[in-house]
Amino acid sequence: MVFYPKYDSRKAGLPPGSLVYLGKKRSEKASIHVIDYDSNHLSEREIVHCADCRGYMNENTVSWINLDGIHDIEKVREFGEVFNIHPLALEDVLSTGQRPKIEDYGDYILFTLKMLYMDDDNSDLVAEHFALILGKGFVLSFQEVEGDVFETIRERLRTGAGRIRNMGADYLAYCLIDAMVDSYFVVLESLGEHVEDVQDEALEKPASSTVAEIHRLRQELIFVRKSAWPLRELLSTMEKSESPLLSRKLKPFLRDVYEHAIQVIDTVESLRDLLSGAMEIHMSSMSNRMNEIMKVLTLISTIFLPLTFITGLYGMNFEHMPELKWHYGYAWAWGCLLLSSIGMAVYFRGRKWV
């Protein structure tokens, strides 16, 4: 995953309001899924043409129209026509590099968000651009690919559990954002495990790959924070908003999800502290290991260099070397060798090196 927007340069020079999809190339067909409900009934269907959505533009029921596949620019443009969406809003729907933000267009409110999850083998963070348009009696949601974190909401809608079926479109939008924030905790849980692993690795078998891993995790955490931080502002703006689209009843719930967003940021900070710790532990372990290696080298050299000297001494070929002729000369030499070794051992003990 790349943690900074690379793509925008391709858009350079285009007139503002141009609809361009700059995310990953995709070949899947875009699909549209509609859930229409009020407190008494609920209907659910797949539709092909955006024009079929016109029927849902009334305020009697809440309609949740979800598009998977914003790379199908044509479909997005059609939505824009059907629901009368401003070109700049549509541009933001498509702009995968857009920071999370809220924008009130009067008749509808645009939210752009980041959906985060871990990839299939739970090792990499994946971010998906997600846009939400809340209008009178309808919610449009735009996703890059199929598969999302909203299945429990669909279930609650279908079974009518909780208060969701009795509330308006604004509550549905809140639920979607809440589910998204909740999914951040799942991501953080997984990252938290990686952080702990890397901390253990730093302490026990430091390698320079550890540092690379620490930095990968740090970038992922920064990315989560970058998604959560503007989300916090977004929710704060939403809470203070005077828009008739957001009823007063929603305020305590917004307060609740706002606090969750703060908790996400808090957790990210804690994990980053842990990572800094891991980095320092790594550096210290490396340095410690070096000390260990050097100690062994020094021990060996310090014991064997004097020994080698002694053997060299009695390997000299002088004609007149009295020791060589002694009967116990060899034993004497061994005595010197042992004495030297013992002396060194005592010295090291004294320095507490062994």
Contact in structure between 234 and 190 (CB atoms under 8 Å): no
- The residue range among 23-31, 44-52, 56-64, 146-154 that interacts with a copy of itself, by the rule CB under 8 A, is 146-154
Contact in structure between 164 and 153 (CB atoms under 8 Å): yes
CB of 316 to a copy of itself, least distance (A): 4
Contact in structure between 66 and 141 (CB atoms under 8 Å): yes
CB of 129 to a copy of itself, least distance (A): 14
Q: Which two tokens stand for residue 33?
A: 């899924």
Answer yes or no whether residue 218 interacts with a copy of itself by CB under 8 A: yes
Answer yes or no whether residue 309 interacts with a copy of itself by CB under 8 A: yes
- Binding to a copy of itself (CB under 8 A) within 254-273 occurs at 256-257, 259-260, 262-263, 266-267, 270-271, 273
CB of 16 to a copy of itself, least distance (A): 6
Beta bridge partners of residue 139, listed in sequence order: 64, 134
Burial class (CB in 10 A: 0-12, 13-18, 19+), 22: middle
- Binding to a copy of itself (CB under 8 A) within 4-43 occurs at 4-6, 8-9, 11-16
- The residue range among 62-70, 116-124, 138-146, 210-218 that interacts with a copy of itself, by the rule CB under 8 A, is 210-218
Q: Which two tokens stand for residue 117?
A: 């999850």
Closest to a copy of itself by CB, 121 vs 319, is 319
Distance CA 26, CA 128 (A): 13
| Among 174, 172, 178, CA closest to 63 | 172
Answer yes or no whether residue 295 interacts with a copy of itself by CB under 8 A: yes
Identity at 346, one-letter amino acid code: V
Closest to a copy of itself by CB, 52 vs 229, is 229
Identity at 49, one-letter amino acid code: H
Q: Of 1, 20, 48, 300, which one interacts with a copy of itself (CB under 8 A)?
A: 300
Distance CA 202, CA 207 (A): 8
- Give backbone dihedrals phi and psi of 207, rounded to 5 degrees, phi first: -140, 165
Closest to a copy of itself by CB, 48 vs 262, is 262
- The residue range among 117-125, 128-136, 233-241, 322-330 that interacts with a copy of itself, by the rule CB under 8 A, is 322-330
Closest to a copy of itself by CB, 38 vs 292, is 292
Q: Of 42, 47, 145, 274, which one interacts with a copy of itself (CB under 8 A)?
A: 274
Distance CA 273, CA 254 (A): 29
Answer yes or no whether residue 338 interacts with a copy of itself by CB under 8 A: no
